[in-house]
Amino acid sequence: MYKKNKKNEVIDWSPWIIFGIVVAVIIVIAVINLPLLAKGYTHMVHNKANPSQMNLSRSEFLKILISLISPILSFIVLKNTVTIQRVSLERKNIDDVNRDFYGLVDIFSKQQNKIKNLVSEFHRNVIVREGLTNRFNRGYLLSDFDPEESSYSYLYFFKGKHDIQNWITKSITEDIRNKDKDYRVDYIINEQFDSVYYEVSSYFKVLHRIIKNLNKKFEEKIIDEELYLNYIGILRAQIDSEELVMILVNSLYTYRGLGLAIELVGTDFFGDKRDFELEQHFKFPAPQIKSEDVGIFAYDKSGKMKDKRIELRKTLKNNTSTSDLQLSSSKSNFIKFSKENEKDD
């Protein structure tokens, strides 16, 4: 899709040296054989010019050749000056990307340390149902329960006075209970993520900034495909499986995670399709999320997913540019938003 940038490109002078040698040999041969060349030329144009007025010394002939070569040499110097400046700019751009990326990763690592215990609790109490490995807890697994049951509830992170933190059982209201399954799932997930928002907001904001910066640099061709995927791989290596699942659920279902989800489209952040099949980086919380649900986040060399990301980003920006649409878009998660903006290929 993109040509690989030669980050360590060095100007190859060998073609120009060969060219110079060839030109020099031609000049020497021409100067040595000038009388013969002049005689032949005179014979060719004898009927159009006076041969006595066509005398040309070797030194004059050499001056003429040099005057013709000077523009060529100037062009060569200019071309190589431009090449040096371009290579220097490319290296500076890569240095800037490296500095920004690793600076943000350092900030991100600090945010990870702050919420390390909370992530584990959130994964255990909210995402994975206790007692069953790799299963959504009953707050998500709504198909297992009768919405009319009075005991229908979900776990909610509670932070009380003196920073006392605990997970409490919270029942859904009757009006939510009477909604369809998808609405109830969205409601509960957003309630649970909102309950820990102030603890994890900086974490998600820094992650969003890292992904968005990399996407912009890649889209503007400041970094190439290989370097881009390398950065994504380095970032993913900083995140354990519980965090990846939390980021995935947040990106797919929450209203606050819509912007991050759009930036994750086509990034390979969660791995590629083969990784999904093998559950290489994390196990999918069944049955709510399946590997095919995450396919939109996989990278593809055709650039289709990158184009989709750009289009979704523009659509979100346009939707939130007016107050009338801002309210409706704020209540749209990625699953709904992407389906609403699907285009026929």
Query: Which 3-state string (H, E, C) describes 36-79?
Result: HHHHHHHHHCCCCCCHHHCCCCHHHHHHHHHHHHHHHHHHHHHH
Q: Alpha-carbon distance 7 to 45, whole Å?
A: 56
Q: E-assigned strands of 244-329?
A: none
Task: Name the pLDDT band for 163 (thresholds 50, 70, 90).
Answer: low
Distance in angstroms (rounded) separating the CA atoms of residues 3 and 226: 10
Residue 144 inside a domain? The answer is yes
Whether 305 is in a domain gets the answer: yes
Mean pLDDT highest for which of 6-15, 125-134, 272-281? 272-281
Return the top range by mean pLDDT from 25-39, 80-94, 314-328: 80-94
Q: Which residue has the higher pLDDT, 7 or 247?
A: 247
Best-predicted range by mean pLDDT among 97-111, 124-138, 261-275? 97-111
Which pLDDT belongs to residue 38? Answer: 60
Does pLDDT of 9 surpass 80? no
pTM of the model: 0.71
Residue 49 has pLDDT above 70, yes or no: no
For residue 258, is it within any domain?
Answer: yes
CA distances from 72 to 23, 30, 64, 133, 145 (A): 11, 18, 14, 73, 82
- In which band, very low, low, confident or very high, does the pLDDT at 271 lie, cut at 50, 70 and 90? confident
Q: What is the pLDDT of residue 7?
A: 43
pLDDT interval class at 272 (50, 70, 90): confident
| Residue 297, amino acid | F
Q: If pLDDT is split at 50, 70 and 90, which confidence band does 161 have?
A: low
Domain of residue 216 covers 92-340
Tokens at residue 52, please? 């006595």
Q: Provide the pLDDT for residue 59.
A: 65
67-90 residues labelled b (16+ CB within 10 A) or e (exposed): eeeeeeeeeeeeeeeeeeeebeeb
Kindly state whether residue 247 falls inside one of the protein's structural domains: yes
Containing 315, the helix (H) or strand (E) segment is: helix 304-319
Write out the DSSP string of 163-228.
G-EEEEEEEPPHHHHTS-HHHHHHHHHHHHHHHTHHHHHHHHHHHHHHHHHHHHHHHTTSS-HHHH
Mean pLDDT throughout 311-336? 72
Kindly tell me if the per-residue pLDDT of 223 is higher than 80: yes
pLDDT at 300: 87
DSSP string, 143-167: GGS-TT-TT-EEEEEEE-GGG-EEE
53 or 125, which is more confident? 125
pLDDT, mean over the chain: 77
Burial of 92 (0-12, 13-18, 19+ CB in 10 A): exposed
The string over 176-192, giving b where at least 16 C-beta atoms fall within 10 Å of a residue's C-beta and e elsewhere, is ebeeeeeebbbbbbbbb
**Between β-strands 165-171 and 153-159, what pairing exists: parallel, antiparallel or unpaired?**
antiparallel
User: Which comes out higher in pLDDT, residue 222 or 78?
Assistant: 222
pLDDT of residue 55 exceeding 50: yes
Q: Which two tokens stand for residue 151?
A: 């005991």
282 inside domain:
yes
Q: Cα(264)–Cα(296) distance, rounded to whole angstroms?
A: 9
Q: Is residue 84 part of a domain?
A: no
Q: Give, as one character, the DSSP assignment of residue 128.
A: B
Q: Which residues pair with 168 in a beta bridge?
A: 156
Residue 159 above 70 pLDDT?
A: yes
Q: Is residue 223 part of a domain?
A: yes
pLDDT at 328: 45
Q: Is the dihedral of CA 100, 200, 180, 288 positive or negative?
A: positive
- 175 vs 71, more confident: 175
Count of the separate structural domains present in the chain: 1
- Structure tokens belonging to residue 63: 């001056």
Residue 170 has pLDDT above 90, yes or no: no
Percent of the chain residues topping a pLDDT of 70: 66
pLDDT at position 327 is 44
Hey, is 286 helix, strand or coil? Answer: strand
User: Looking at the domain assignment, is residue 103 inside a domain?
Assistant: yes
Rg (CA), the chain: 34
Q: What is the pLDDT of residue 227?
A: 93
